[in-house]
Amino acid sequence: MSTVAVVGTGRMGSAMARSLARAGSDLLLYNRTEDRCRQLAGELGARVADSPADAAAAADVTITMLADEAAVRAVWQADDGLLAGAGPGGVLVDMSTVPPDVIRSFEAAARERGAGILDAPVSGSVQLAETAKLTIMVGGEAADLERARPVLERLATRITHIGPLGSGAAMKLSVNTLIFALNQAVAEALVLAERSGIERATAYEVFATSAAGAPYVGYKRDAFVDPEAAEVAFSLGLAEKDLRLIVEQADRIGVRAPQARTDLEQVRAAIGDLGEDRDASAVAVNLRSASGSASPSGGG
C-alpha cells in the first residue's frame, strides 16, 4: 500500500486526512503546531512525522495544505523541509491557495532530487473535503499526475488537469473570483430581502432553489441564516488573502477585475468590524450592521 503524507492539518488538511483515512490510506501527518496533528493522528490511527522532510522521505505522495505563501515556502524550503526529504519515486503536491509562481520556484529542486511535483489546489470547503467531494485543479506533468491520481481520487469527485506547473494555482484564483462574487451577492441579496420585511430563512430558501442556487449557496445556508451558531469553514482572513492574490494576478496580467476589488474592500470592512477569524459569510453580518433601518416598505 502506498503511503500518503498530509503536511498542514488545519481545517482543510484535517478534513482531507479524514477522507484519506476512511479510504484506507496508510497516513503520515505533520503540522507546525504538533498538538493539533497528534490528536488527529490518534483519532485516525495515523503516524506523526518529525519534520516535513521526514514526511516527504517516507511517503509516496506528500500533500501540503497550508495557509499562505509564507507557510508553503517555510514548509517546503526549510533545512528540514519537504524538498530536503524528497526522493525518487515520491510526488510532492501543494494543494494550498497560493500564487502560481510559488510551485514553479520549487520545480528545479524537486526534479534534482528525482521527485515529481504538482500544484493541485481545491475548490470546495471543509464539508466537501470531509466527504471527498472536492474539485481539484492540477498543474504539472501528466506522468506526475498519474502517480498522484489514486490519492487525489480519494479526495475529489472531479480532477482536472489544467496544464503546466502553476496552472492549477492560476485556475484556483479564477474560480475563487466567482466564489467571492457569489458570497458578496448572497450577503447583499439577503440583507435586502430582510430589510424588505422578508424572513431571513425564507429568503435563503428561495435563493437556494432559484436559478442562482449554486452548490455554494446550498452548503453556506447555516452560515448565512444563523451566523452566530455556524462553525467557521473559511475565515475572513483567508478570504482577504485570496482576494488580494486575485487582484495582484489581475494587475500582473492586465485584467481590470472591478468585482474582485469591490469584494476585497467588503471583506476588509468586515475584518475591520469583526476580526479575521469569522467565517467569510460574515460579510452579511457586517453589511446588516452597516445598513440603515428604513421601514420595510422603503421608507419613502
Ligand X SMILES: NC(=O)c1ccc[n+]([C@@H]2O[C@H](COP(=O)([O-])OP(=O)(O)OC[C@H]3O[C@@H](n4cnc5c(N)ncnc54)[C@H](OP(=O)(O)O)[C@@H]3O)[C@@H](O)[C@H]2O)c1
CB of 254 to ligand X, least distance (A): 25
**How far is the C-alpha of 136 from the C-alpha of 156, rounded, in Å?**
7
Q: Is 94 in the site for ligand X (CB under 6 A)?
A: no
**How far is the C-alpha of 54 from the C-alpha of 66, rounded, in Å?**
17
Q: Pick between residue 82 and residue 203 the one whose CB is nearest to ligand X.
A: 82
Among 20, 29, 59, 75, binds ligand X (CB under 6 A): 75
* β-pair type (122-123, 61-64): unpaired
Q: Pick between residue 37 and residue 117 the one whose CB is nearest to ligand X.
A: 37
CB of 278 to ligand X, least distance (A): 13
- 93, 64 Cβ separation under 8 angstroms: yes
Q: Is 13 in the site for ligand X (CB under 6 A)?
A: yes
C-alpha distance from residue 155 to each of 13, 152, 255 (Å): 11, 5, 33
CB of 197 to ligand X, least distance (A): 33
Q: Is 31 in the site for ligand X (CB under 6 A)?
A: yes
Residue showing the smallest CB distance to ligand X in the complex = 10
**How far is the C-alpha of 56 from the C-alpha of 88, rounded, in Å?**
11
Q: Is 67 in the site for ligand X (CB under 6 A)?
A: yes
70-78, 204-212, 250-258, 264-272 -> range binding ligand X (CB under 6 A): 70-78
Q: Is 103 in the site for ligand X (CB under 6 A)?
A: no
Tell me, residue by residue from 238 to 267, as one string, x for binding to ligand X by CB under 6 A and - for no binding.
Answer: x---x-------------------------
Complete DSSP assignment for 148-169: HHHHHTTTEEEEEEEESTTHHH
What does DSSP assign to residue 91?
E
Complete DSSP assignment for 184-251: HHHHHHHHHHHHTT--HHHHHHHHHHSTT--HHHHHTHHHHHSTTTSPPSSBHHHHHHHHHHHHHHHH
Q: Pick between residue 203 and residue 271 the one whose CB is nearest to ligand X.
A: 271
Catalytic: 172? yes
Q: What are phi and psi of 126, to 5 degrees?
A: -55, -45
Among 4, 5, 6, 12, binds ligand X (CB under 6 A): 12
Q: Is 100 in the site for ligand X (CB under 6 A)?
A: no
**How far is the C-alpha of 193 from the C-alpha of 205, rounded, in Å?**
12
Q: Pick between residue 179 and residue 203 the one whose CB is nearest to ligand X.
A: 179
Count the site residues for ligand X by CB under 6 A.
26
Cell of 32: 507546525
- 189, 207 Cβ separation under 8 angstroms: yes
Q: Is 99 in the site for ligand X (CB under 6 A)?
A: no
CB of 10 to ligand X, least distance (A): 2
Cell 504538533 sits at which residue?
34
22-30, 68-76, 244-252, 264-272 -> range binding ligand X (CB under 6 A): 68-76
Considering 133, 172, 220, 241, which one is annotated as catalytic? 172
Cell of 138: 492540477
CB of 269 to ligand X, least distance (A): 20
Residues that bind ligand X (CB under 6 A): 8-13, 31-33, 36, 65-67, 70-71, 74-75, 96-97, 122, 125-126, 233-234, 238, 242
Catalytic positions are 172
